[in-house]
Structures are given as C-alpha cells and as structure tokens.
Amino acid sequence: MNKTRSLAADRRRKTALSAVLAVVCVIYVLPVLTVVLNSFKLNTFVKTDTFALPSGEMWAGLENFIKGMTFGNYPFWKSAAYSVVITLLSTALILLCTSMAAWYIARVNSKACRALYFLCVFSMVVPFQMVMYTLSKTADQLKLNTPWTIPIVYLGFGAGLAIFMFVGFVKSIPLEIEEAAAIDGCGPLRTFFSVVLPMLKPTMISVGILEIMWVWNDYLLPVLVLDINEYRTIPIHIQYLKGSYGTVDLGATMALILLSIIPVIIFYLTCQKHIIKGVAAGAVKG
C-alpha cells in the first residue's frame, strides 16, 4: 500500500520535473527564435519591436537576406566559402599530422619525443593573447596570411591538444597488432596507415569535432593573421558589420547570423552523439 503510493508520488514528481524542464527548454531556444523573427523584420522595427512577430508592416520578406549578401563591403558568400575552406583544410591537416606525430611519440618514446610531448602539454595552458602579436607578425613574414596557408598556423597553435589526445589513445592500443604487421613485412608507413589509423577512428572523430568547432568559430586568430581586405571568415564578417559602419542594418545582420548558425545546427543535429562525446573527451584533458 505504502509502496504503491510512493510509486505514484514518484511518477507525479517526474511528470512535474518534465514539465518544468520543457518550459526551460522553450526559454532556451527563444534567443535563436528571436534571431529567426528579426531576420524577416524591417530594420527600423528590430530595435523597437524585438520580440514581436514580423507581421503586417514589419514584414520584410527576403529583403534582409538579399541585402545581407552584399552588406558590409564584402560579399557574404565569400566569407562563408573561406570559412569552409579554412575549417576543412585545417582540420584535415591537424588530424593527419598530429596522429602521425602522436604515434611516433608514443612508440619511439625517446628523450626528444618526451620533450616534444611535454611542450605540447605546456602549449595547452598558454592563452592565445600571449603569442598573438608575435604569431601574427611571424605568419605575415612567412606569407601564411591566406586561407590556403593559415592551416599551418592552426596546426602549430592547435597541435598540443590533438597530440595529447592521440598519444593517450595510442598508448592503450596493444603493441602486438603492430608487431604482427612488422613481422609480416610492413614498414612504419604501412603499419601506420593500414593498421594504426583505422584503430584511431574514434579519437579521430573526437579530435576532428573539437578542431572543427574551434576553427569555425575562431575570430581572433584569423583576424590577426589574414589580410582582412582580401579574406574574411564568417565571425570576422559579422564583427565588421558593426565595427565599420556608423549605423547598422540590424535586420540584415540577423539574416546573416541566421544563415551562419543554420549549418551549425544541422551539423549538430546530424552528428549529435559524436559531438557530445568529442566535447566531453576534450574537456577531461586535465
């Protein structure tokens, strides 16, 4: 009797909890919803009627999106394209180079390797402001200031975390597998690419997601390294909408913000499981 009553109370409590969380959830998506609303609203109403539906005279249709494309002295599609190029190239370069280096470090484990590993761990606690001035000057001198060469800078500054995560994983792989490959006549290159690399896949996904999220959202490094009259990324584009103009077309800005978060949300919803796992793996870096 007592037990059934407590079970019923428990069920009621869970339903109440669900309801509360559902309300919080709705509040949580409101900011994104506000962006959607205002991207269809005429500029003059964004400030005065921020939370109203874009109905009647406020309705701007697709005008904000059309205006946004050329708004800010720089075509938006170009910023988006450069963002994609930089993110994909940097992530690919980081994954390939750091996984190779990490395997070498873990397996050869010489004094030089341990020193390099220590430097990598050290680099993870150094904030970007420490090196930003000298790094941007060095990158300038070496002509690394284009979207095609900036991945090298990302590889240099981002190698620490990636190597740390890969080394941790390689150490957990039993040596016997590589040993068997070596006995069967595989050289180091073949051992790495056809035996080790497939086993690294889960860590590859985690590291890849962390790097994609970092590079895609990064503002300071590209704005300092790239020649921004020539090349912009999405965060730079959005920052310069406000920075360079006296008056800002808020409607068009919101349209661009919407366009820039839609791919992110689609990416999130399609690989949600991996993203949450990857982020959690990166957090526990110690």
Partner 1 sequence: MKQKKIAGGSTIRAYTRRWWPLFLGPVVCAFIIGFVWPFIQGIYLSFCKFRLISDAQFIGLGNYIKAFQDPSFIHAFWYTALFAIVSLVIINVLAFAVACALTQGIKGSNLFRTVFFMPNLIGGIVLGYIWSMIFDGILGRFGTSILLESRFGFWGLIILMCWQQVGYMMIIYIAGLQAVPEDMLEAARIDGATRSQTLFRVTIPNVMPSITICMFLSLTNGFKLFDQNLALTGGQPFIIQSGGTTVKTTEMLALNIYNTFYGSSSASQGTAQAKAVIFFILVAGLGLAQLAYTRRKEVQQ
Instruction: Give the footprint of partner 1 on residues 239-278 (CB under 8 A).
Output: 239, 242, 250, 253-254, 257, 260-261, 264-265, 267-269, 272, 275-276
> Where would I find the beta strands (DSSP E) of the chain?
none
Q: Residue 205 CB, nearest distance to partner 1 (Å)?
A: 16
Selected from 126, 171, 194, 245, the binder of partner 1 by CB under 8 A is 126
Please report how close the Cβ of residue 226 comes to partner 1 at its closest, in angstroms.
15
In whole angstroms, how close is the CB of 137 to partner 1 at the nearest point?
A: 6
Is the Cβ of residue 75 or residue 149 nearer to partner 1 in the bound state? Answer: 149
Dist. CA 234–CA 257, nearest whole Å: 9
User: How many residues in the chain?
Assistant: 286
**Residue 18 binds to partner 1 (criterion: CB under 8 A):** yes
Q: What is the nearest approach in angstroms of partner 1 to the Cβ of residue 265?
A: 7
Considering beta carbons, is residue 203 or 260 the nearer one to partner 1? 260
First to last CA, the chain: 50
Smallest distance, partner 1 to C-beta of residue 148, A: 15
DSSP codes of every residue in 15-33: HHHHHHHHHHHHHHHHHHH
How far apart are alpha carbons 218 and 118 in whole angstroms? 25
Interaction between residue 7 and partner 1 (CB under 8 A) = no
Using rule CB under 8 A, residue 280 touches partner 1: yes
Tell whether residue 146 is a contact of partner 1 (CB under 8 A).
no
**Helix (H), strand (E) at residue 236:** helix 234-244
Binding residue for partner 1, selected from 92, 179, 202, 244, defined by CB under 8 A: 179
Minimum Å gap between C-beta 88 and partner 1 is 17
Binding region for partner 1 (CB under 8 A) out of 65-73, 74-82, 125-133, 200-208 = 125-133
- 74 touching partner 1, by CB under 8 A: no
34 exposure class (CB count in 10 Å sphere: 0-12, 13-18, 19+): middle
| 26 vs 18: CA distance, rounded Å | 12
- 175, 193, 244, 262: which one binds partner 1 (CB under 8 A): 175
The set of residues, in sequence order, having a beta carbon less than 8 Å from that of 106 and lying 6+ positions away, is 167, 170, 171
Which structure tokens are listed for 117? Answer: 């590993």
Please, what is the minimum distance in Å from the beta carbon of residue 154 to partner 1? 8
Distances (CA, A) of 225 to 74, 136, 162, 202, 236: 18, 5, 22, 32, 12
Site for partner 1 in 26-45 (CB under 8 A): 28-29, 31-32, 34-35, 38
